[in-house]
Every structure is written in structure tokens, then in C-alpha cells.
């Protein structure tokens, strides 16, 4: 039987999660194949991560590009099915909640190939989020469920997942953050962007904020009220950019819109900021470790541990400006809680689970 472990990545958030898992399995001599579906195909959104994080360049890039959810997922499934049949891996490892994740899980399940889901069990309980659907389907199909938090373990248990399939291993993205934290220097971008000592960072791309015209207009008003208080640097995702521009998002003199940065540059920018406004999942986790106040512009989060054991809080558009005012008045955090097992050793724990599962499958 093949001993090959095949990793499927496809979007920017997958790469810092995959890096420590790949390194830990390599240290144990496990043969691996890294597949990039090309779901995010802009160089700033993907290739730069491989260089900066020391991940080997993908063995295979499907180059599916962007598109509607159904078309993109179908294209990924078509490409992966041919690859899985040809290489017949012993296990497929998927990450997070993007379309590449659910596509790989579906193909592997139908071919009878073991699947491990890194970051299993997260739930927002909001089925209007495509990512929530992807999470639920992937967890239903996966043989090995690798969780980052205790609440994720509880969600899987409540859904009837057998305890033997669930492994609380911690957060591999935090492994990557801790390994590179000394390289997160805000000074270069502060100089390049001519930033004041106190500035904010914002990342906004979720459908609930940037798809409907009314939501976009409310978001622009809310963010302009934030920019009235401090400079806001916005590394803007391609999603929603045109709608935000048309609604006047760019027009405030304190709103500094830039293209997305590489991992090290972005994390340096975040580390030097007074606070972050976001609708991203990963940023909630990164700020939790860095001790940067995080205001998540969503009605819910699949990462509640960043609220109970971190720096995160949920805000609405109508309360955002006041929340920013409070954060700026309070000043930098001196101490804050950190979630259990977010200690930089999730990669080795995941590798141990995978090796034991493969041994049991022989």
C-alpha cells in the first residue's frame, strides 16, 4: 500500500497551516506530495507564502483560478480526481474551509482514500457563510479530525462524531507565527507608507460586508467614522474591491488602501498597529497571539476561543467607531490569555496522529 501523504492547499490561509505539518512529517521521513489548486492565483496571494515560509514549491498546481463556487469546486474536483487515481495516496490532508478543502474531501471519500482535516470542528452556525458549509461537509467525510480548540472538539461530539476520530492538537498556524515572530518588523512598511505611530489595519472581504449594496454603503460609513480617529491601512482583497471603490471607500484622506502583502510584511504591519478591524478568521487568531486588539466585524465567529482566550471581540457596523474609540483610549495591552496548545508544537502533534493512523491502516 502507498505511504504517500498528499496535502491539498488552495488559498492564502492554508499555507501557514500546512507549513509546520509538512515540516514535521518530513522530519519523520514520510513521503509527501504538495498540491496547490490555484484557487488563489495572484502571486501576492499565494506564491510569496511558499518563499517566505520555507515551504517547498508545490509539486503540482492545478491553476483553477477564480470563479463561482460551483464552477470552481467542480474544476478542483476534476483535477484532483485524476491526480488521486494516478498517485493513490495513503492519506489526503486538507486545511481550513475553502472550496479546495471540500472538493478534495469529496473526491477522496468517493475513492476510499483516508482524509485528515486540519482545523476541524469550527462552527459559526451561520449557513449563509460558504465556509460554514465547507466545514460541515468536510468534517462529515474526514476520517481524522484535527482540532485547534476545545470548543471544536465539543461541536464534533455534539454532531455525533466518534471520539476516536477527534484529536485536539492545537493550531498549526500559530506554529508558523511563533517561528517567524522575530521577523515581524513594522518599521519598513511604516516608513514606506509614511504611517504615524498610531495606526489601524483593516481586512474586509466577507460576502456579508462587501456583496450587497446596502451592506457596502453601511461598511463605508462605519469605516470612514473609524478613519476620522486614526489612519487606517487596508490591504484590500480583490473580492469586493470594485464595489467598495464605487461606494467611496477609498475617498477618506485617512483611508490608505494598498494591495495585499506577503505574510511577513502583513504580520509586521499588524504587530505595529493599535488595533485590527477584520472579518477574517485567521486574523482573529494571529492578533490573539500578538496581543493586538481585534474588532471582528461579523455577527458571529467560528473561533470563539479568540474571544474567551485572546484579544478579539465581535462588533457591528453601527458600534464599530465607538469600539475603536475605546481601544485607542485604553492603549496597548500589557497581558492577555492565550488558548490551550497554541504553543508552536501543533505540527509535530499532527504528524504523530497521521503516522499512527497510517500505521493502523496498513
Residue 97, Cβ neighbours under 10 Å: how many? 29
Q: 143 in helix, strand or coil? A: coil
Joined together, the cell numbers standing for residue 303 give: 473561533
Residue ranges of E strands in 106-248: 114-120, 144-147, 166-168, 199-203, 231-235
Q: 168 in helix, strand or coil? A: strand
Cα distance between residue 197 and residue 115, in whole Å? 47
Report the chain's terminal Cα–Cα distance, integer Å.
7
251 burial type by CB count under 10 A (0-12 exposed, 13-18 middle, 19+ buried): exposed
Active-site entry in 117, 180, 205, 237: 205
Judge whether 36 counts as a catalytic residue. no
Distances (CA, A) of 294 to 32, 239, 264, 349: 36, 21, 19, 28
Cα distance between residue 360 and residue 343, in whole Å? 28
Joined together, the cell numbers standing for residue 323 give: 469600539
> In the Cβ-directed half-sphere of 132, how many Cα atoms lie within 13 Å?
14
DSSP sequence for 78-104: HHHHHHHHHH--SEEEEETTSHHHHHH
Q: 285 in helix, strand or coil? A: helix
- Catalytic (active-site) positions: 205
Amino acid at each position: 500500500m502507498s505511504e504517500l501523504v498528499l496535502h491539498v492547499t488552495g488559498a492564502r490561509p492554508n499555507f501557514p497551516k500546512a507549513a509546520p505539518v509538512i515540516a514535521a512529517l518530513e522530519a519523520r521521513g514520510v513521503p509527501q506530495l504538495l498540491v496547490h489548486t490555484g484557487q488563489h492565483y495572484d502571486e501576492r496571494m499565494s506564491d510569496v507564502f511558499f518563499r517566505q515560509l520555507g515551504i517547498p514549491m508545490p509539486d503540482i498546481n492545478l491553476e483553477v483560478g477564480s470563479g463561482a463556487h460551483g464552477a470552481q469546486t467542480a474544476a478542483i474536483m476534476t483535477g484532483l480526481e485524476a491526480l488521486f487515481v494516478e498517485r493513490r495516496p495513503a492519506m489526503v490532508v486538507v486545511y481550513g474551509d475553502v472550496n479546495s478543502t471540500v472538493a478534495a474531501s469529496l473526491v477522496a471519500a468517493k475513492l476510499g482514500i483516508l482524509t485528515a482535516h486540519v482545523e476541524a470542528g469550527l462552527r459559526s452556525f451561520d449557513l449563509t457563510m460558504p465556509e460554514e458549509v465547507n466545514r460541515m461537509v468536510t468534517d462529515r467525510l474526514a476520517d481524522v479530525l484535527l482540532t485547534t480548540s476545545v470548543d471544536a472538539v465539543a461541536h464534533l461530539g455534539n454532531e455525533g462524531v466518534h471520539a476516536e476520530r477527534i484529536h485536539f492538537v492545537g493550531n498549526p498556524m500559530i506554529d508558523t507565527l511563533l517561528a517567524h515572530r522575530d521577523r515581524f518588523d513594522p518599521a519598513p512598511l511604516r516608513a514606506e507608507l509614511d504611517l504615524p505611530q498610531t495606526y489601524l489595519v483593516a481586512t474586509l472581504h466577507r460576502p456579508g460586508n462587501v456583496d450587497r449594496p446596502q451592506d457596502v454603503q453601511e461598511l463605508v460609513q462605519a469605516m470612514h467614522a473609524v478613519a476620522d480617529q486614526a489612519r487606517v491601512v487596508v490591504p484590500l482583497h480583490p473580492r469586493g474591491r470594485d464595489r467598495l471603490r464605487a461606494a467611496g471607500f477609498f475617498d477618506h484622506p485617512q483611508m490608505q488602501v494598498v494591495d495585499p502583502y506577503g505574510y511577513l510584511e502583513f504580520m509586521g504591519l499588524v504587530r505595529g498597529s493599535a488595533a485590527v478591524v477584520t472579518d477574517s478568521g485567521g486574523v482573529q487568531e494571529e492578533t490573539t497571539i500578538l496581543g493586538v486588539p481585534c474588532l471582528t466585524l461579523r455577527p458571529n465567529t467560528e473561533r470563539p476561543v479568540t474571544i474567551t482566550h485572546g484579544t478579539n471581540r465581535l462588533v457591528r457596523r453601527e458600534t464599530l467607531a465607538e469600539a475603536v474609540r475605546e481601544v485607542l483610549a485604553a492603549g496597548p495591552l500589557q497581558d492577555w490569555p492565550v488558548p490551550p496548545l497554541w504553543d508552536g508544537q501543533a505540527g509535530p502533534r499532527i504528524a504523530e496522529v497521521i503516522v499512527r493512523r497510517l500505521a493502523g491502516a496498513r
